[in-house]
Amino acid sequence: MEKISVERNIWIAAPPTRVWQAITDPKQLGKWWPPDEWSISTLQIGGKVQFGPDDEAAYATIEALDPPNQWMLRWEANPKFPVTSMTTRFVLATENGGTSLTVTESGFESLPDEVRQTRVDETGKGYTMVLNDLKAFLER
């Protein structure tokens, strides 16, 4: 089956080190990416990430880490996200005096046919929104 992913890119008028802080520090994540409850056990490969409040949280493990260039999360299965092959990769690059940030979420091909397109569409809209919020947060 063909790999299905969602990719969004945004240019931010801030250096990669500043963008890196905003996407890896739970206190900063909560200022631009709802819900405002993030937890990162340790920023290293194998570190655990909690996204959302305990009663409806999504959990991930850091699978790749190359500060301030990229990091990748592999999401654990839960009732809201039952597929364990979903990954989210953040890639930063210096561009035109700022930072190009690309977020790619992969693994949608593992979802059941009846929910796949809805999840792809919702994820694309969600990343468009949060990346615009990140840009506003860093450029204000």
Predicted local confidence at residue 82, as pLDDT: 63
> Does 84 score more than 70 pLDDT?
no
What pLDDT digit, counting tens, does each position of 87-99 carry?
999 999 999 999 9
Domains and CATH numbers, the chain: 5-139 (3.30.530.20)
Report the C-alpha gap between 22 and 138 in whole angstroms.
8
Q: What is the dihedral of CA 114, 116, 121, 123, to 10 degrees?
A: 130
What pLDDT digit, counting tens, does each position of 40-63 carry?
999 999 999 998 888 888 899 999
Q: Which of 128, 129, 88, 79 is nearest to 108 (CA)?
A: 88
Q: Do 54 and 78 contact (CB within 8 A), yes or no?
A: no
Q: Do 52 and 79 contact (CB within 8 A), yes or no?
A: no
